[in-house]
Structure 1
Amino acid sequence: GFLGPNGAGKTTTMRILTGFHPATAGTAQVAGFDVHKRPLEVKRRVGYLPESVPLYLEMVVSSYLSYVAELKGIGRAQRKKEVADVMERCGLLHMQKRLIQNLSKGYRQRVGLAQALLGNPPVLILDEPTVGLDPKQIVGIRQMIKDLAENHTVLLSTHILPEVSMICKRVLILNQGRIVAERSMDSLSNGSSLNLELRGSAGTIQETLMKVEGVDKTSMQGNRYSVQLSADAKVQEVSPILVRALVGAQIEVVQVQEQSGTLEDVFIDAISQEAEVAHG
């Protein structure tokens, strides 16, 4: 999941990753290929659904998909099978002879997903795929994306936090063109921080905590300390190591409590900290 406030740079990043927009600095790789040095190799391995799907409204669904398949270099012998396969996967077989201009927004999104799937690319990049859909259409598209994620790497851009929680296994939070947080959804549901009550030298405590692998940052208020774990750290593994380190440093451990964060907590914290740094 690729999260961020409006204007954070999500769409620009996706355009760079798909080769539609040149980067002014830095490097990026997709499926092991540099997007600047090997753009054709990247494009062969990426299916892209932009926020505004570029559909030919005067074409019928099957003809449009056949046309896109030809543009992607899929041979005539294989083309018919490929088109039928993506229409089946996207629930479009009963709509294949309909004009695209007569389709609902939800079915147009399905056509957009189908064209992204042509050629069976290992990576799918989807920019705001549920924007503008009604609740029933959103449920259908979300389920499709979850099913696609079983066989593809999916990068999903959205500013809807519950959508990421429902669909994604990992989340990247972008703000002002920078990644400001990264978490696995498992780390959020299993607990991503510890609250401790400790007695001892504040300096020694902070130093000891930050030496423990898996600790990302700490904060304190009196004798109470909050320990935020890094993205891949597990509370169950870090907690006993942390306690042993504190006891070894002659710190009295009064209480240790696991705290499960929410995606909203992580998002607001990451954006707020970035704002504080910017206004420094």
Structure 2
Amino acid sequence: MSIKVQSVSKSYDAQLALHQISFSAKKGEIIGFLGPNGAGKSTMMKILTGYILPNEGEVSVNDIDVLSNAIEAQKNIGYLPEQNPLYVDMYVKEYLQFQASIFKVPKERVQEVIEQVGLTPEVHKKIGQLSKGYQQRVGIAAAILHNPEVLILDEPTTGLDPNQLQEIRTLIQKLGKEKTILFSTHIMQEVEAVCDRVIIIKKGELLLDKPLKELKESNEQSVEVTFDYKIEEQFIQKLPYLKSFKNNFDNTWYLTFDAQEDMRPVIFDFAQEQGLKILELSSQNQSLEKLFKEVTN
């Protein structure tokens, strides 16, 4: 496994940041690491990089124990923190050459990485002159200079405009073909577009760990329907495959079904049987954003 986390807990004085977190990741996986603010995402990422130590548990990267052999493990890790630590007065190529000297990688690698992340048009500018999107590219370039097998990205798309988002998304997808990538974000569309798997934590507890494909193939569907007059709950409960229901206001109901078939024709038939007319009807499948809200609430 590229990443293996077993029963990791971390507290700061009396505040518990992580509690018995366990997960693993294999090469070629792109994992969305999600959770509300203060959930413990950044703490977990810092532990994975060897920057801080947990109170208990085991962490390994490429079968190297991060807790007892952090320097060796870090040779296999590329890390972009939430606050991108760039020297804004340095030129792009100058900065990357400086980073290359730290990692003791050949100078030719700098030019390879510049081309790989699409920095060529901006290479002769100072980092402080770059847009936020290009600054993020510089951060990613620095993280992959030593060609690590594991890439950890903490909020890599924060503050980017739609075009920059698309560019960074494409870059992450390209890198994910040959590396294990764990990245946190609050943008659900990014996760749905890029990730193979989703991990959700809240208050230091792991709530969900599933392949994105499995989540997308969920049978759950939601339907909002407005009838021409108000009906009682006992009639709504006659609908097949009904998982939950809520009377939003007056004649409007929000219905959740667990079924593969489209439930809209079933609702039409139900309305006819009950002598009702449907004034409005809209349907949607389970979205990651909705699932995130349900799980974290």
| TM-score, with length taken from structure 1 | 0.71
CA distance in structure 1 between the partners assigned to 2:290 and 2:89 by the alignment:
46
CA distance in structure 2 between the partners assigned to 1:97 and 1:137 by the alignment:
20
Deviation of the 1:225 alpha carbon: 7.8
Q: Could you list the per-position Cα deviations for residues 93-134 of structure 1 after superposition, in whole angstroms to 9, with x for gaps in the alignment?
A: 222221111111111100000000111101100000010111
CA distance in structure 2 between the partners assigned to 1:125 and 1:22 by the alignment:
17
Q: Which residue of 2 aligns with 1:22?
A: 53
CA distance in structure 2 between the partners assigned to 1:164 and 1:190 by the alignment:
15
SS of residue in 1 equivalent to 2:152: strand
Q: Quick one: which amino acid aligns to residue 75 of structure 2? A: R
Q: Which residue of 1 aligns with 2:112?
A: 85
SS of residue in 1 equivalent to 2:82: coil
Among 128, 143, 163, the alignment partner of 1:101 is 128
Q: Could you list the per-position Cα deviations for residues 173-221 of structure 1 after superposition, in whole angstroms to 9, with x for gaps in the alignment?
A: 0111121101211112222669xxxxxxxxxxxxxxxxxxxxxxxxxx8
Closer, same or farther in 2 for the Cα pair 1:189/1:224, shift >3 Å?
closer
Among 140, 152, 166, the alignment partner of 2:167 is 140
For structure 1, the residue ranges without an aligned partner over 5 or more in a row are: 195-220, 227-255, 273-280
Residue-pair matches, total: 215
Q: Which residue of 2 aligns with 1:258?
A: 260
CA distance in structure 1 between the partners assigned to 2:200 and 2:77 by the alignment:
22
Contact 2:152–2:182 (CA<8 Å) still a contact in 1? yes
CA distance in structure 2 between the partners assigned to 1:121 and 1:35 by the alignment:
15
Q: Which residue of 1 aligns with 2:215?
A: 188
Q: Which residue of 2 aligns with 1:51?
A: 82
Q: Which residue of 1 aligns with 2:93?
A: 62
Among 137, 142, 155, the alignment partner of 2:182 is 155
Q: What fraction of aligned residue pairs are identical, expressed as a percent? A: 42
CA distance in structure 2 between the partners assigned to 1:174 and 1:192 by the alignment:
23
Q: Which residue of 1 aligns with 2:13?
A: none
Q: Could you list the per-position Cα deviations for residues 41-95 of structure 1 after superposition, in whole angstroms to 9, with x for gaps in the alignment?
A: 2100000001111111111111110111111122xxx2x2110011001111222
Q: Quick one: which amino acid aligns to residue 206 of structure 2? A: I
Aligned Cα root-mean-square deviation (Å): 2.3
The 5 Å alignment of 1:124-273 reads 124-191=151-218, 257-258=259-260, 261-272=286-297
Larger mean Cα displacement after TM superposition, 19-28 or 171-180: 19-28
Contact 1:30–1:42 (CA<8 Å) still a contact in 2? yes
Q: Does 1:36 align with 2:88?
A: no
Q: Which residue of 2 aligns with 1:6?
A: 37
For structure 2, the residue ranges without an aligned partner over 5 or more in a row are: 1-31, 222-236, 244-257, 262-284
Deviation of the 1:154 alpha carbon: 0.7
CA distance in structure 1 between the partners assigned to 2:176 and 2:41 by the alignment:
20
Contact 1:6–1:159 (CA<8 Å) still a contact in 2? no
Deviation of the 1:150 alpha carbon: 1.0
Q: Quick one: which amino acid aligns to residue 48 of structure 2? A: L
Question: Which has a greater percent of strand?
Answer: 2
